[in-house]
Structure 1
């Protein structure tokens, strides 16, 4: 059933972005699908045939370029945008020592700063483009979905920069959620586990490798083990992206599986992500119990318990 919504999707060429666009159109909604080379993407032409607007957009572009893409969308469809999906990002694979300063900067620029800039501009648009409610309570203005990961919950060998980026996106979006809730804007960070999206396919643009490889130096270590595991799990991930995107759309729109539920600031997806989160919670609680007598003795003496 259509929610009569307009979706603006950044990073729509593959994975979650492409599938959300596909499902939104199937619901009878309208879609602006963007990526660096959207208009020349064979994958996106099928969306265009169903009425989607294709826009070439680099997520790291200056503010005015990003704002112009939003303006083109509203002018094309003659209406306001309801939901923003920021699905841009890639994994930079390599031990911390292998990553150059330039590679690290590019990773943070795309995976973190671009998402922050997009969210800032999208927030301004949603907050200022909708009429205020006469009832005193804010109307539902729409939402912004950013993508974290199971890597938002734990770091590990060979993906330090990816984990750092995803922690940053989750922390930023949690803050955004609190800032926008009173306006009726739902900001959410989606944290998927391993999903079969092609994300780990070598040469696909979402899995990049450090130029400096220290294979001999890290042979037999956890770095080598994780690199091999990422290759072996590619195309064998447990998560179904079609099912995952159905949940994402339900949560953003408050329909289907999310109807009647209070929507929070995070959406973890997949049994593997639930397992990782529970393990992190257990490790954290164990740490606090073991060290509480030490870490709580750091206040000034004049501070009461």
Structure 2
């Protein structure tokens, strides 16, 4: 069955790979970018395969209206939305300005909310649809230098957990995709605070993490084309995605899987250690 997809941040990386995967599978794709002219020039295959570029900045308060207009123009139905647009603000939280933090959350958290406000009325009316929120391995395990980026992705995780329960009565599925390290421009495009790095953080885990990210750029183990194919299969319940319908989270990458397993083990140890404390706080009977 042919579906209509709307993918934000389709101008590069995982967004581009996913747009191409959906188009090659015979679906209709509305690909969004802040500069669709530039995006079309850099990714001619999307239009060649029938994709439609849409100008969209997810930080704009008019995002929901733009989405509504785009879907209406495209025929009035939407089957899959992929909230992929995002970036990472990395460094010491002390060095980040209020404006830098606000922009991080406006893009990574409020952006998907604005998109959903435009999408969900269509999906509720249809009593069907799939919401794909792109999180990160940082959305489950916060690392040094990633306080605000991880914070934004943790917000997406919590939001998606609630949405999956809120939207179930309407036949709308929520999928939370958690990529590890994939070979895209994501690392190269991270934003550092304009203030730089406070000297006290030199030689600490914050600086070490920043150096590791810069050194890793271009040698990430993950293949975004394969990641896009796995997402497509989970959305359509085919291939390796068959039988995953009842599950919310889709971790991608062996690095992500191992990182999550360590986090689960740490959480279990923490929970076990705190059991007596947790159970000691009720009123005496």
Determine if the TM-score, normalized by the shorter chain, exceeds 0.5: yes
Distance 1:14 1:280 in 2: 30
How far apart are 1:117 and its partner, in Å? 2.2
Shift of 1:215: 5.1
TM-score by length of 2: 0.94
1:79 positional shift:
5.2
Matched residue, 2:5? 7
Question: How many residues were matched structurally?
Answer: 284
Residue aligning to 2:101: 104
Alignment of 1:263-302 (within 5 A): 263-302=246-285
What CA distance in whole angstroms lies between the structure 1 residues aligned with 2:124 and 2:284? 46
Shift of 1:288: 1.7
The answer on 1:240 being equivalent to 2:223 is: yes
Tell me if structure 2 keeps the 8 A contact 1:6–1:83.
yes
Is contact 1:38-1:44 (8 Å) kept? no
What is the alpha-carbon root mean square deviation over aligned residues? 1.6
- Cα deviation, residue 284, structure 1: 1.0
What is the alpha-carbon distance in structure 2 between the residues aligned to residue 152 and residue 248 of structure 1? 18
- Compute the displacement of 1:156 (Å): 2.1
Say if 2:204 is the partner of 1:221: yes
SS of corresponding position for 1:207: coil
Aligned to 1:136: none
Higher mean C-alpha deviation, range 46-55 or range 156-165: 46-55
Distance change (3 Å), C-alpha of 1:117 and 1:301: farther
Q: Give the structure 1 partner of residue 50 of structure 2.
A: 51
- Structure 1 or 2, whichever has the larger Rg, is 1
Distance in 2, Cα, partners of 1:182 & 1:150: 29
- Structure 1 distance, partners of 2:176, 2:68, is 21
- Distance between the aligned counterparts of 2:245 and 2:71, measured in 1? 30
| Deviation by residue 1:76-108 (Cα, 9 ceiling, x = unmatched) | 3x3511110110110001111111111111111
User: Gaps (5+ residues) in structure 1?
Assistant: 133-140
Does 1:187 pair with 2:174? yes
In structure 2, the gaps of 5 or more residues are: none
CA offsets 1:257-277 (integer angstroms, 9 cap, x no match) = 122343311111111111111
* Secondary structure, aligned partner of 2:60: coil
